[in-house]
Chain A
């Protein structure tokens, strides 16, 4: 397993407990989705994994290292790339510069990676001198994922990557995610489009009120009648 999360308890204030004992894991080369209602604590869970929020209890093991409570730049240095749902690019930097910062921790391979990534996403090459603020929602999301790939991560952690995208843009993004998996990178993502997410995922976890509700192979969950009615809109 690349990532093992055990009995995570976390919250923002002193009193609130948003996560009440969440466990999950991601295997090498797997796409794992987290789905669940609004406010379930999905984003909070990813923030703890990325190192933006220290958990109160529980453990997060990444490639054998205990990372719970480590600051974000340390988890990044270990090969974990986190992409927030919003504000995930530097608006005043050009696209090229955003990619360079994406590869901040790998100075020796930065140039090569940047070329590869611009080859993979021709749009980014075309607009490499434009400020990131000029991009549309879908383009910005592509850039955010591309920046994460610059660091050659072992695990890509995505918070609702398709939020706000047109169906076409979302489909392109899902294709990108499948390609990333094919390149050997594990992916953990939250998705509102649960059915689309399950279609490309190996496994999934359903989170409700800060606790694990159910998990299993994505195909099983997608076909479970109860889950379909409650979480997948029929």
Chain B
């Protein structure tokens, strides 16, 4: 029993790390743009396909494929923001949320049009599981979690030590005051869309490298991503990381009591519980 729990915890930490990358993207966009951008799902898939093309057609190794997924999804993010969301900047959050669902549908269908519905796999070296004591770890999952953690560290450095990172946090705190201090908040918004959707794309590549990719890859995990962000407190980056690990572990652990197909319900239950008992999440401060 204890072995099973440890194994599930280890799996949960590894899937939580990947989830965290997407959840950071989700929560940082929420902090600045103040609405839940569900088009993250479509951008995850878009990034996954970009990474897959880089990997299978150009033979790039996973870290470089990850970078491609990041850049392409970030680019799509800036474009979709510019074309669809910018004209709606002053609209109510619900309007923006619905528009973001439409963006996601558009990207998913464009992918379906281009690549069909088939499951695709990355071209990665097969390796035998590592066995440490009772633990059995897939080298690919470990590498994915490592890449996710590297991405998070880079982001941490940007947010904490660069003036642009501070400007992003300042804009999230109070956009009007940021403008008074000379920050071009529209430019910051673009940058946040790029980084946020880029992270979604990177997470898409990592998910795809773990299993396989398809146009609905993002849609299948968006509830978990949203749950992680809500659990941590919408708008809080450390919160999103904590939330993602919590969701990842609980999703894995849930398999002890319910069949694996119910894993998806974990995010749903987590959202319900947070909204009922602590709407601001673990680390959230704002009530929105």
Residues in chain A near residue B179, CB distance under 8 A: 71-73
Number of interface residues of A (CB under 8 A): 25
B57 within 8 A of A: no
Shortest CB-to-CB span from A86 to chain B, Å, is 10
Shortest CB-to-CB span from B163 to chain A, Å, is 7
A92-B173 CB under 8 A given contacts A76-B180, A84-B180, A151-B182: yes
Dominant SS among interface residues on chain B: helix
Q: Are A72 and B169 in contact, with the CB atoms below 8 A?
A: no
Shortest CB-to-CB span from B39 to chain A, Å, is 26
A52-B166 CB under 8 A given contacts A87-B174, A92-B173: no
Q: Are B177 and A88 in contact, with the CB atoms below 8 A?
A: yes
By beta carbon, the residue of chain B nearest A107 is B163
B129 within 8 A of A: no
A-B pair count, CB < 8 Å, reads 65
Dominant SS among interface residues on chain A: loop
Q: Are A101 and B167 in contact, with the CB atoms below 8 A?
A: yes
B183 within 8 A of A: yes
Q: Are A93 and B170 in contact, with the CB atoms below 8 A?
A: yes
Residues in chain A near residue B184, CB distance under 8 A: 73
Q: Are A90 and B182 in contact, with the CB atoms below 8 A?
A: no
A147-B181 CB under 8 A given contacts A87-B174, A100-B163: yes
* Contacts of B144-199 to chain A: CB distance below 8 A: 163, 166-167, 169-170, 172-174, 176-185
Chain A interfacial positions (CB closer than 8 Å to B): 50, 52, 71-73, 76-77, 82, 84, 87-93, 97, 100-102, 104-105, 107, 147, 151
In the A-B complex, the 4 residue pairs with the smallest Cβ-Cβ separation, listed nearest first, are: A105-B182, A76-B182, A90-B173, A72-B179
> Could you name 10 residue pairs across A and B whose Cβ atoms are closer than 8 Å?
A72-B176, A84-B180, A87-B176, A89-B177, A90-B169, A90-B177, A90-B178, A93-B169, A102-B181, A104-B167
Given A71-B179, A73-B182, 16 further pairs, Cβ under 8 A = A52-B176, A73-B184, A76-B182, A84-B177, A84-B180, A87-B176, A87-B177, A90-B169, A90-B178, A92-B172, A93-B169, A93-B173, A97-B169, A101-B166, A104-B167, A104-B182
